[in-house]
Amino acid sequence: VNIELGKLNRAAAYCRQASGMARVMPHVTRALNFLAFLLYEWNDLEASVFNNRQAIESARLSRYMEAITWSYYELAHISMIQGDEGRALELLEKADQSVPDADPLWARTCQVNAHIRLEICDSS
């Protein structure tokens, strides 16, 4: 809700607090995804990559595929904007492979969005 209201610093603080619980409460792994998103928006790509990787690591323990899928798509996008098209395509493939194990409606929407974003980056 804080993200929607534009209270991004407060949202980031909540995400940081919640992310500390991700290992014992797998559903909290999404806090790492949201924190990575905020860091991306603040142009702190290194921290965004770090938090997306943490989300993948945490989510693997519980097979929380939505967090894994989201993180791989975000990492692919960051790689593309950093000019590493090969790495972006590798991460995009990992994300696509995780889609069948995630919530179908959410994952397919996320997949289409990621492919469009990467195509836009590639043609820019």
Query: 41-99 pLDDT, tens per residue?
Result: 999 999 999 999 999 998 888 888 888 999 999 999 999 989 998 999 999 999 898 88
Closest listed residue to residue 59, CA positions, set 86, 95, 104, 85: 95
Domain presence at residue 56: yes
Contact 26, 62 (CB under 8 A): yes
Q: Domain with 87 in it: what CATH number?
A: 1.25.40
Domain presence at residue 3: no
- pLDDT band of residue 26 (cuts 50, 70, 90) is low
Domain presence at residue 2: no
**DSSP string of 6-57, one letter each residue:** T-HHHHHHHHHHHHTTTTTSGGGHHHHHHHHHHHHHTT-HHHHHHHHHHHHH
Domain presence at residue 21: yes
Domain presence at residue 16: yes
Domain presence at residue 1: no
Least confident among 12-16, 20-24, 43-47: 20-24
Domain presence at residue 29: yes
CA distance 106 to 64: 13
User: pTM for the complete prediction?
Assistant: 0.80
Structural domain boundaries, residue 52 = 8-123
Count: domains in the chain: 1
